[in-house]
């Protein structure tokens, strides 16, 4: 077929700080998905967008074109309202695991389409695959049935949702254009809008272990995504949350499942509970239940009941023991004092090097690898006390993991024990 537009003209418009027309955006996304626009041409356009930005209408149109590249899901046939959550990723961020069954305990359907870990951030599907028998791949029919019966599903997104995004994401990864806010926002929101949820809560992480290190850029990303959701008719709100220190006391796969189950049993680390409850409140309010009390549903076992049904529905043996690493090694405190810093990025890289994460999409992960934290910033520690336990099946990895942790721990001998930093930094709604 003869093409109605020319890639070079589209690139030139954005290179020269112009505004892309609706026709240019619709055509270039579709033509790139069909293979008519070459990889190097889309790379040039992505760099022009990174350098020169896009306005709200351009980003909305770009997101719409990505959605139009594939199928859309429709949950209108369910008897329950739908709410979803997306996190921009961090270290020890296991919140989806207790959150989905917690929200579902109030009669809200939670279709949580999740991904795998890459680099220092963990993937929800990798964590759940530590549970014997659990499977991530569900058909759309299986997903719908489980949402109606159980109320929550955590599974991998089908290849039919926003295929333009999958192709463009791989390109951005190798052309240093991942950081372009219009492209991050449209990547996340094209999948979430195509998924068809009625409301969406975004957890935008800020700090060393997050994709966004700077709160102003995180706020810009959050605002852009909230606008995209709102413009598409999805009730959307974003929380900016701290990721200077890992969430909870574990980073890894099976280790984080164990901690999530502790939260569902009414215990678990205070920060994981606080963020789970805060996000649940936002999701329940968006789904029309502003008076629901998620903390009560953790305490009385309702959320745990949904978790057990959700795991079993996807083939998981909820009572089977989780895998345990063959080898462990401890990192000890060098002096007495107050732990004033524990760098999330360093802990994430160390967990990844122990086998909990992957460098390339096709790499396997170890279910039992990761790091256990025995103290958090603000705690008083003594010389020789264990601060971290490293877990792996392959002990030759310990050396590289320890290298990643050099300089990650800060102990101040003169400081007084301090209150932890606030976890929720800001809230952005329309």
Q: Which one from 191, 223, 258, 353 is the annotated catalytic residue?
A: 191
The question of whether 165 is a catalytic residue gets the answer yes
Q: What pLDDT digit, counting tens, does each position of 126-162 carry?
A: 999 999 999 999 999 999 999 999 999 999 987 788 8
pLDDT score of 415: 73
Look up the pTM and report it: 0.94
CATH 3.40.1030.10 residue ranges of the chain are 83-157+192-319
pLDDT range class, residue 173, cuts 50, 70, 90:
confident
Check whether 216 has a pLDDT greater than 80: yes
pLDDT digits 0-9 by tens, 35-64: 999 999 999 999 999 999 999 999 999 999
Catalytic residue of the set 86, 192, 258, 302:
86
Identify the active-site residue in 84, 93, 165, 343: 165
Task: Based on the residue annotation, tell me whether 191 is a catalytic residue of this protein.
Answer: yes
**pLDDT at residue 191, rounded to an integer:** 92
* 237-277 pLDDT, tens digit each: 999 999 999 999 999 999 999 999 999 999 999 999 999 99
pLDDT of residue 88: 92
Candidate list 87, 114, 186, 187, residue with the active-site label: 187
Ranges for all domains in the chain classified under CATH 3.90.1170.30: 327-412
Q: How far apart are CA 38 and CA 112, in angstroms?
A: 33
Lowest-confidence segment of 47-51, 130-134, 210-214, 303-307 by average pLDDT: 210-214
CATH topology of domain 83-157+192-319: Pyrimidine Nucleoside Phosphorylase; Chain A, domain 2 (3.40.1030)
Checking if the pLDDT of 104 tops 60, the result is yes
What does the pLDDT read at residue 2? Answer: 62
Is 284:108 a contact under the CB 8 Å cutoff? yes
Q: What is the pLDDT of residue 419?
A: 76
* Residue 166: pLDDT over 90: no
pLDDT bin (cut points 50, 70, 90) of residue 430 is confident
pLDDT at 169: 86
Q: In what order do the strands lie in the sheet with 83-87?
A: 83-87, 199-206, 235-242, 424-429
pLDDT at 237: 98
Per the annotation, the verdict on 139 as an active-site residue is no
Determine the Cα–Cα distance for residues 101 and 88; give it in Å rounded to an integer: 20
Marked catalytic residue, from 172, 219, 308, 397: 172
Inform me whether the pLDDT recorded for 11 exceeds 60: yes
Domain 327-412: CATH superfamily is Pyrimidine nucleoside phosphorylase-like, C-terminal domain (3.90.1170.30)
* Band of residue 287 on the pLDDT scale cut at 50, 70, 90: very high
Asked whether the predicted pLDDT for residue 117 surpasses 90, the reply is no
Determine whether 235 is an active site residue: no
Least confident span in 111-125, 214-228, 288-302? 111-125
The neighbouring-strand residues paired with 339 are: 411
Catalytic-residue membership of 410: no
pLDDT, one tens digit per residue, over 331-360 is 999 999 999 999 999 999 999 999 998 877
pLDDT band at 178 (very low <50, low <70, confident <90, very high): confident
Q: What pLDDT was estimated at residue 214?
A: 93
């Amino acid at each position: 077929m003869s093409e109605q537009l020319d890639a070079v003209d589209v690139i030139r418009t954005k290179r020269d700080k112009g505004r892309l027309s609706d026709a240019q955006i619709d055509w270039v996304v579709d033509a790139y998905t069909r293979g008519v626009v070459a990889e190097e041409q889309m790379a040039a356009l992505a760099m022009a967008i990174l350098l020169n930005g896009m306005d709200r209408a351009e980003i909305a149109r770009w997101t719409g074109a990505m959605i139009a590249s594939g199928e859309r899901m429709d949950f209108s046939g369910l008897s329950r309202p739908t709410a979803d959550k997306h996190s921009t990723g961090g270290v020890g961020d296991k919140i989806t695991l207790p959150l989905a069954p917690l929200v579902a305990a109030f009669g809200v359907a939670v279709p949580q389409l999740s991904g795998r870990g890459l680099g220092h951030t963990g993937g929800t599907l990798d964590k759940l695959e530590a549970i014997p028998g659990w499977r991530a791949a569900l058909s759309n029919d299986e997903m719908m049935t489980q949402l109606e019966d159980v109320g929550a599903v955590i599974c991998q997104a089908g290849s039919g949702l926003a295929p333009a995004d999958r192709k463009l994401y791989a390109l951005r990864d190798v052309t240093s254009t991942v950081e372009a806010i219009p492209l991050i926002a449209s990547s996340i929101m094209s999948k979430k809008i195509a998924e068809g949820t009625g409301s969406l809560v975004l957890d935008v992480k800020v700090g060393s272990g997050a994709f966004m290190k700077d709160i102003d850029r995180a706020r810009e990303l959050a605002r852009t995504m909230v606008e995209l959701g709102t413009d598409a008719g999805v009730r959307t709100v974003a929380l900016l949350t701290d990721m200077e220190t890992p969430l909870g006391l574990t980073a890894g796969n099976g280790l984080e499942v164990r901690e999530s189950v502790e939260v569902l049993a009414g215990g678990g680390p205070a920060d994981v509970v606080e963020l789970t409850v805060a996000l649940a409140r936002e999701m329940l309010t968006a789904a029309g239940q502003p008076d629901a009390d998620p903390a009560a549903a953790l305490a009385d076992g309702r959320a745990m009941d949904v978790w057990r049904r959700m795991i079993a529905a996807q083939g998981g043996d909820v009572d089977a023991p989780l895998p345990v690493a063959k080898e462990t090694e401890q990192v000890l405190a060098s002096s007495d004092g107050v732990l004033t810093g524990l760098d999330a990025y360093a802990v994430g890289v160390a967990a990844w090097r122990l086998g909990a994460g992957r460098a390339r999409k096709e790499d396997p992960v170890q279910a039992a690898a990761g790091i256990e934290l025995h103290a958090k910033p603000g705690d008083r520690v003594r010389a020789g006390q264990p601060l971290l336990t490293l877990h792996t099946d392959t002990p030759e990895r310990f050396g590289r993991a320890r290298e990643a942790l050099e300089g990650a721990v800060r102990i101040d001998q003169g400081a007084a024990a301090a209150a932890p930093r606030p976890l929720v930094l800001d809230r952005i709604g329309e």
